[in-house]
Amino acid sequence: MSTPVLDVRGLTYAYPDGTQALWGVDLHVHRGERVALLGPNGAGKTTFVLHLNGVLGPSSAQGEGRIEISGMPVRRDTLAEIRRRVGIVFQDPDDQLFMPTVRDDVAFGPANLGLRGAQLDERVGEALERVGMTAYASRPPHHLSFGQRRRVAVATVLAMRPEILVLDEPSSNLDPASRRELAEIVAELDVTVLMVTHDLPYALQLCERSVILSGGVIVADGPTRAVLADGELMAAHRLELPFGFDPARRH
């Protein structure tokens, strides 16, 4: 078996006020997998994600455990490379877009890696093309629709050529057309995806595998269709499918 692109072992974390967020989480994701991270509010999903690129760390006084990205441990001395390998697209695109133009935002990360000139232009063009936003390169981000800004936020991460793309509630606040367009983009990406979402039909559409994190522990890990079809499991962890949506039926 190849080295997992994401290998989490015994991850435990408590916030300084004593709130225990994670209780020994193990998760292994292999290259090319698309995994949905599901769970009720307060389950520890955000805390978990913030460990993946070292915003929070198991080596702190509040935590323990080990995280490796393609064999590289997440440590203070590896953070620059880890943050290139793990790209997080946050729920609010305005948290990631701060430059005068779309092109400037997408170029920001690669430029910090030292790319210049034609090499930088190629990286930016490639990322914008993958999200269908090439025609908007010279636009100010704040002139775009919310759905367009989210696609640009995805491009800023893709421009770093990450090994793992983490999407935090990617479908939230999107109209139906924007939701569909983003799904089509994500489905075409040749990158490992970890998608944190409350949108269970989206998880079924985009992720073959789903993990439920509840109370700081992983309580289920399996094919998305089977996980969503387990009514007792879903009810126990406050996860509800939309009215009339049957995960056992092909949609």
Percentage of the chain modeled with pLDDT above 70 = 96
Q: For residue 33, is pLDDT > 90?
A: yes
Angle between helices 117-130 and 146-158 (to 10 degrees): 130
The answer to whether 195 touches 207, Cβ cutoff 8 Å, is yes
Give the model confidence (pLDDT) of 168-199 as tens digits.
999 999 999 999 999 999 999 999 999 999 99
Average pLDDT over the chain, rounded to whole? 93
The answer to whether 57 touches 11, Cβ cutoff 8 Å, is no
Q: Residue 18's pLDDT is what? A: 85
Q: For residue 226, is pLDDT > 90?
A: yes
Q: Residue 60's pLDDT is what? A: 52
Q: Residue 42's pLDDT is what? A: 86
Q: For residue 249, is pLDDT > 80?
A: no
Give the model confidence (pLDDT) of 138-175 as tens digits.
999 999 999 999 999 999 999 999 999 999 999 999 99
The answer to whether 174 touches 146, Cβ cutoff 8 Å, is yes
The answer to whether 239 touches 212, Cβ cutoff 8 Å, is yes
Q: Residue 73's pLDDT is what? A: 94
pLDDT confidence bin for 251, thresholds 50/70/90: low
**Distance between CA atoms of 160 and 110, rounded to whole angstroms?**
6
Q: Residue 58's pLDDT is what? A: 59
Q: Residue 3's pLDDT is what? A: 85
Give the model confidence (pLDDT) of 212-223 as tens digits.
999 999 999 999
Over residues 3-25, the mean pLDDT reads 92
* Domains of the chain from N-terminus onward: 6-91+163-236 (3.40.50.300)
Q: For residue 250, is pLDDT > 80?
A: no
Give the model confidence (pLDDT) of 56-91 as tens digits.
875 554 568 999 999 999 998 999 999 999 999 999
What percent of the residues of the chain are helix, what percent strand, and what percent coil, each to the nearest 5? 40, 25, 35
Q: For residue 21, is pLDDT > 60?
A: yes
Over residues 8-37, the mean pLDDT reads 94
Phi, psi of 9 (to 5 degrees): -135, 120
Over residues 122-132, the mean pLDDT reads 97
The answer to whether 170 touches 142, Cβ cutoff 8 Å, is no
